[in-house]
């Protein structure tokens, strides 16, 4: 680990510790759930460079399972650690963004209300850079199903709508020297079991028998506009 990466890692640890100390009532009930370490790549299998990601653009990859989509976002500002809680009232401290600007974040793209998710055919959920017709605020993840809104700069905290918990966070590690990103865990309220039960038949058609397989080694990242033929803007 070089000096820059060491300083970056220490800064993250200090920020998380500060958030935890400042909020003693938020003992971390929910712990990160580790999965395979997966390098984020482009569609050709080459590691993506964090510095080359476009700010406020929807990117999608799949993790920790072959059929579970994730939003990768490069925000226009740093994302600080946040105290949050699941619908089961399990509290946790989201560690904030990674990267030199602390603005790279990732969250499960499965809505915490009706489990709406982006498919190759259509997506009713996405990050919105600017306001839409029905009063969607700037820079939020918005689901058109029941208009749940999540703030990715606050750990995907629910700001409006019927969702009962934040989107499950996918934890990333940024290699400062190589400028690469690796997914290694989730944090918060996982909804994968419910997701697989609800969409078992559809996933068997779209993804096949590997839908529940754990992602291993690499995960391809694509812009939502290229992954999905019809991103809905409600």
Burial 120-154 (b: 16+ CB within 10 A, else e): eeebbbbbbeeeeeeebeebbbbbbbebbbbbbbb
Each residue's pLDDT tens digit in the chain (234 positions)? 444 443 344 444 333 333 333 333 344 678 999 999 999 999 999 999 999 999 999 999 999 999 999 999 999 999 999 999 999 999 999 999 999 999 999 999 999 999 999 999 999 999 988 755 555 568 899 999 889 999 999 999 999 999 999 999 999 999 999 999 999 999 999 999 999 999 999 999 999 999 999 999 999 999 999 998 888 878
Tell the CATH topology of 3-227.
Answer: Rieske Iron-sulfur Protein (2.102.10)
Identify the pLDDT of residue 136: 54
Identify the pLDDT of residue 231: 84
Closest alpha carbon to 71 in 163, 172, 201, 158: 172
Identify the pLDDT of residue 138: 81
Identify the pLDDT of residue 69: 98
**How many CB atoms neighbour CB 4 within 10 A?**
11
Kindly list the domain boundaries of the chain, sorted by start residue.
Answer: 3-227
């Amino acid at each position: 680990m070089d000096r820059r990466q060491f300083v970056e890692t220490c800064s993250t640890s200090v920020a998380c510790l500060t958030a935890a100390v400042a909020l003693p009532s938020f003992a971390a009930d929910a712990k990160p759930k580790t999965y395979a370490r997966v390098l984020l790549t482009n569609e050709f299998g080459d590691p993506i460079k964090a510095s080359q990601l476009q700010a406020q653009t929807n990117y999608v990859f799949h993790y920790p399972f072959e059929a579970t989509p994730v939003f990768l976002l490069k925000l226009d500002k740093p994302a600080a650690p946040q105290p949050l809680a699941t619908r089961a009232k399990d509290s946790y401290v989201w560690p904030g963004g990674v990267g030199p600007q602390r603005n790279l974040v990732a969250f499960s793209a499965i809505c915490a209300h009706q489990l709406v998710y982006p498919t190759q055919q259509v997506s009713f959920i996405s990050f919105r850079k600017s306001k839409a017709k029905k009063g969607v605020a700037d820079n939020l993840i918005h689901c058109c199903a029941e208009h749940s809104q999540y703030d990715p700069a606050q750990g995907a905290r629910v700001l409006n709508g019927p969702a009962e918990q934040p989107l499950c966070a996918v934890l990333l590690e940024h290699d400062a020297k190589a400028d690469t990103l690796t997914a290694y865990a989730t944090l918060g309220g996982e909804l994968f079991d419910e997701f697989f039960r609800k969409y078992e038949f559809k996933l068997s058609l779209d993804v096949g028998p590997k839908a529940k397989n754990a992602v291993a080694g690499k995960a391809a990242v694509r812009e939502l506009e290229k992954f999905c033929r019809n991103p809905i803007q409600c």
